[in-house]
């Protein structure tokens, strides 16, 4: 299905500012649909690219209510109707006013009441919202439903006046309360004139023992949430309904989120509408997750410290040894432990078990270059990007890089200048790594499977055994060696390719 952006840019004359306004409207018009118990369809004039093209209307967005039955089970987005086929839309566009006249339509077999609401940005008409109410389940409305419908009428007039969405306000996200969570109506002085049952219950949980209707929302909430600590902004001002606000208040162990929408109709502020919901359980889960993430990061930090301590002890022990072979073995152990410590250090700074492996690879490469003999002056380098990897891949891969780089420096480039490069390429499913040097190359009878080298045994065990990847040793064109690693990224968590 084409997107709003695609349709507007390719088939209408609206500019980018108009498109941004429509995006802000569509991000928040579930509110109007739910208050109206009606479907919303947004129509914009079709651009006529050819002289023979007839004027018409293009549907660029559609919204169904969650509070009532839909009038349009099928998708409308992308459909075009000719001018004259939907008379109320033509009248609303021509006269630049909300059109509610007309008898219910029966075209789809059910009675549908149609209304047309002009969409305006400043003084410019952008399109028409067709509001369609399914009347098949019509019944005597309750006070709740009457309040919903009155609020919907006020919002529709604000859309016609170019006051909704609120100019300059960020688009509403899914985090905001919805109509069914709780609704308040405020008069111009900020007093509650209506509170839905859910809204009243939410304030009961905050500690309110009386009825909310007739009280000042700001003063009542401030009294409930008074902890003796100064607030950044007075709740009395924030909850007066004079400006658009999103506020969270906490009292009596409960947390309530409120969204204030000023109602300005035909230039006069008639009050405000407040949506609210109890988010106590949601915030409790957020805090639990934050605590869990902090605990995991602290564990990685302590593991890193312990590994660095082990490396330091091994380094001290190596200095006391008189046997060169034993000292070299301990030095190799220090490098292996150090490569694992680098991964845990990175994990201690991230909220998830994901790491940017480019940083780890660069540190491992730098560590390998530091231990090469000064006369060789080998400077390893990285080409390409590893991207973000899960820790289950990052830890063994860091050790493998350490082993391959050290092996190349000791055996491939032992006593001469040379090139040592790590090339990384990846897609959504696999990671390929090539460690290449232009050194001596491996002997003609070399067999990685039968090699007794501890480093190569570690590499083979980690790549083939633990990661289920492929490992290949091959001669590099022009001299030297290439070690090719191919690893599947499907390790229970497949991260996205870096941008």
Q: Within 10 Å of residue 39's Cβ, how many Cβ atoms? A: 23
Q: Which of 307-316, 377-386, 411-420 has the highest mean pLDDT?
A: 307-316
What the block records as the tokens of 316 is: 């001290």
Question: CA–CA separation, 267 vs 67, rounded Å?
Answer: 30
Beta-strand relationship, 420-426 and 381-384: parallel
Q: Of 190, 199, 269, which Cα lies nearest the Cα of 222?
A: 190
Model confidence at 463, pLDDT cuts 50, 70, 90, reads confident
Render the burial of 461-470: b for 16+ CB within 10 Å, e for the rest. ebbeeebebe
Q: Rounded to two decimals, what is the model's pTM? A: 0.65
pLDDT digits (tens, 9 = 90+) for 343-367: 778 777 776 678 888 988 888 888 7
DSSP category for residue 53: P
Quick one: pLDDT at residue 325? 85
| Under 8 Å between Cβ of 272 and 263 | yes
Please say whether the beta carbons of 408 and 437 come within 8 A. yes
SS3 assignment, position 247: strand
Average pLDDT value for residue range 148-164: 95
The more confident residue out of 62 and 370 is 62
What was the pLDDT predicted at 237?
Answer: 84
What is the predicted pLDDT for the residue at 327? 83
CA angle at residue 35 from 29 to 38, to 5 degrees? 75
Handedness of CA 297, 298, 300, 304 (dihedral sign): positive
Do the beta carbons of residue 95 and residue 103 sit within 8 Å? no
Which of helix, strand or coil describes residue 197?
helix
| Residues comprising the chain, all counted | 499
Mean pLDDT of 225-232: 62
Q: What is the pLDDT of residues 211-221, one digit of tens each?
A: 999 999 999 99
DSSP designation for 179: G
Residue 26: pLDDT over 80: yes
Q: What percentage of the chain carries pLDDT values higher than 70? A: 87
Most confident of 177-181, 307-311, 390-394: 177-181
Out of 27-41, 349-363, 459-473, pick the least confident: 349-363
Q: Does position 268 have pLDDT exceeding 90, yes or no?
A: yes
| Predicted pLDDT of residue 444 | 66
Q: What is the pLDDT of residue 492?
A: 42
CA-wise closest residue to 192 among 176, 208, 175: 208
**Across 400-424, average pLDDT:** 80
Mean pLDDT of 182-189: 96
Over residues 94-120, the pLDDT tens digits come to 999 999 876 677 666 788 899 999 999
Q: What is the mean pLDDT of residues 414-430?
A: 81
Could you please report the per-residue DSSP string of 120-172? EETTEEEEEEEEEEE-TT-----HHHHHHHHHHHHHHHHHHHT-SSPTTPPPP
Helix (H) or strand (E) holding 433: strand 430-437
Average of per-residue pLDDT values in the chain: 85
Residues 6+ positions from 398 with CB-CB distance below 8 Å: 339, 340, 342, 343, 357, 360, 361, 364
Give the lowest-confidence range in 5-19, 71-85, 392-406, 410-424: 410-424
Predicted local distance difference test score (pLDDT) of residue 8: 94
DSSP 3-state assignment of 32? helix
pLDDT of 175 reads: 67
Confidence label for 232 from pLDDT (cuts 50, 70 and 90): very low
Band (pLDDT 50/70/90 cuts) for residue 493 is very low
CA pair distance 331, 329, nearest whole angstrom? 5
Higher-confidence residue of 72 and 440: namely: 72
Q: 464 pLDDT band (50/70/90 cuts)?
A: confident
pLDDT at 379: 73
């Amino acid at each position: 299905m084409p997107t709003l952006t695609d349709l507007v840019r390719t088939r209408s004359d609206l500019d980018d500012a108009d498109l941004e306004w429509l995006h802000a409207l569509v991000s928040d018009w579930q509110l109007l649909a739910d208050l109206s118990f009606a479907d919303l369809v947004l129509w914009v004039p079709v651009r006529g690219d050819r002289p023979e093209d007839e004027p018409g209307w293009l549907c660029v967005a559609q919204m169904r209510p969650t509070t009532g039955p839909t009038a349009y089970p099928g998708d409308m987005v992308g459909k075009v109707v000719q001018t004259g086929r939907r008379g109320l839309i033509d009248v609303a566009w021509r006269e630049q006013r909300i059109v509610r006249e007309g008898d219910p339509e029966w075209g789809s077999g059910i009675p549908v009441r149609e209304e047309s609401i002009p969409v305006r940005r400043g003084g410019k008409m952008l399109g028409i919202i067709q509001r369609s109410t399914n009347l098949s389940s019509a019944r005597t409305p309750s006070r709740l439903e009457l309040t919903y419908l009155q609020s919907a009428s006020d919002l529709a007039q604000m859309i016609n006046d170019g006051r909704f969405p609120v100019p300059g306000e960020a688009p509403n996200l899914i985090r905001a309360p919805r109509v069914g969570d709780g609704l308040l109506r405020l008069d111009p002085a900020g007093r509650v004139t209506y509170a839905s049952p859910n809204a009243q219950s939410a304030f009961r949980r905050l500690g309110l023992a009386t009825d909310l209707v007739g009280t000042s929302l700001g003063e009542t909430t401030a009294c409930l949430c008074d902890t003796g600590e100064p607030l950044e902004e007075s709740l009395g001002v924030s909850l007066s309904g004079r400006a658009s606000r999103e506020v969270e208040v906490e009292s009596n162990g409960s947390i309530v989120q409120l969204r204030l929408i000023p109602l300005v109709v035909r230039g006069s502020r008639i009050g405000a509408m407040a949506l609210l919901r109890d988010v106590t359980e949601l915030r409790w889960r957020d805090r639990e997750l934050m605590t869990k993430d902090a605990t995991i990061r602290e564990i990685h930090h302590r593991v890193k410290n312990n590994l660095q301590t082990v490396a330091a002890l091994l380094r001290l022990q190596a200095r006391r040894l008189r046997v060169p072979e034993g000292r070299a073995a301990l030095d190799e152990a220090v490098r292996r432990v150090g490569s694992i410590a680098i991964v845990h250090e990175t994990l201690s700074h991230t909220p998830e078990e994901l790491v940017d492996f480019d940083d780890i690879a660069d540190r491992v490469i730098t560590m390998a270059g530091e231990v090469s003999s000064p006369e060789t002056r080998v400077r390893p380098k990285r080409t390409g990007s590893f991207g973000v990897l899960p820790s289950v891949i990052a830890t063994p891969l860091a050790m493998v890089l350490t082993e391959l780089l050290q092996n190349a420096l000791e055996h491939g480039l032992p006593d001469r200048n040379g090139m040592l490069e790590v090339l990384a390429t990846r897609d959504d499913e696999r990671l390929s790594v090539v460690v290449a040097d232009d050194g001596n190359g491996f002997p003609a009878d070399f067999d990685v499977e039968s090699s007794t080298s501890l480093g190569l045994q570690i590499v083979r065990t980690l790549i083939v055994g633990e990661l289920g990847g492929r490992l290949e040793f091959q001669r590099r064109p022009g001299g030297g060696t290439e070690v090719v690693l191919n690893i599947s990224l499907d390790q229970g968590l497949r991260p996205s390719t870096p941008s």
